[in-house]
Structure 1
Amino acid sequence: MTEALTPERILAATEDVLRRYGPTKATVVDVARALGVSHGSVYRHFRTKTALREAVTKRWIDHTTVLLEPLAAGPGPADRRLADWLTVLFHAKRRKAMDDPELFATYTVLAEELSEVVAAHVADLVGQLTRIIEDGRAADVFAPGPPESAVLARAVHQATAMFHKPHFAARWALPEAEADFTALRDLVVRGCQ
């Protein structure tokens, strides 16, 4: 019995094809071939190659957003949640870069091409940080504004970019990366207090 063609199967096959051929050489025909279907069958689920690339990129970055959501939602002291959120983000990105470097490199290229998908992801992350900061301010754990919580959240995200932006992935394998991250994380959390 043939397994039904679903968007999820197509996205999984697309990851394999991207890993094998890279973003410049991978085609919808390659994805269809990997699934044993016609490329028209793939296009019934994803109208264009760009739509398929957007969906696979979104799927990949959404794993991180979902992983961080429980920390953004609470419970617990906001300062601890902020420290844990930053730690989970760094470790998740580093794990992706180290465990599957071919796919990570591919997604780095796709992320540059698909700036709207990345912008939405960054907005989600900043939204999570904003909630943590607002909770901390409401509990008198973090100093009251100004700046507004959303502005502070963007600043935290930008200040820690070296530990989550794919451009810096090569640095994450350095022996001092963990100590450098911990020092910056602790400085950022203290700066919010």
Structure 2
Amino acid sequence: MHCWKTINVQKQYGHDRIFLFSMIFVFIVFSFFYISINVFRHGPMSDQRFSWFLLVLLLTYPLHKLLHFMPIARYRNRLRFSVERKFGIIPLLNMRIHEPIMKSRYLISLIMPFIIINSIFIIGAITLPSFRHYFTILLAYHSGLCLIDLLYAKHLLKTPKKALVEETDKGFEILVPYTNTRTNLSA
């Protein structure tokens, strides 16, 4: 195996730029979905169940991380978990791959939270129209969380099909098997 490419979105874009892109993405998703849902769903909105909204808001991030883990759970012996604190109080859950896994499996792990959680929030806004503003906020917040995952997925889609992914201090390394040049020349 050899390293085909190293992907480090944090280094490529910078933390501040990713944060800015994420905030812009949150506002775009909120604006677009809020206007769209209000075109189809009319009626009063309720501010009841605000405590439920806060609970779901707080549980969205751990659920997001759990959904990242589920597709690669069978590789749990290849994963390392840690908790890092941002600004001294905000806990961030980290999951690092220290042995290669298949690119397709890792790609599923990246996009699974985006598809499942956002689908739940969209369905919730449609089926419970009096709480559509809560679901719109949750959808926008979660979409902002997913931006970095989507950036990594975008880069992974451009890699060879049979590649493996391994995480190092430099970023995600895309590993591909060596090809035998003698068999390629004789073919």
TM-score grouping bracket, smaller chain normalisation: under 0.3
More helix by share: 1
TM-score, length-normalised on structure 1? 0.26
Where relative contact order (Cα < 8 A, 6+ residues apart) is larger, the structure is 2
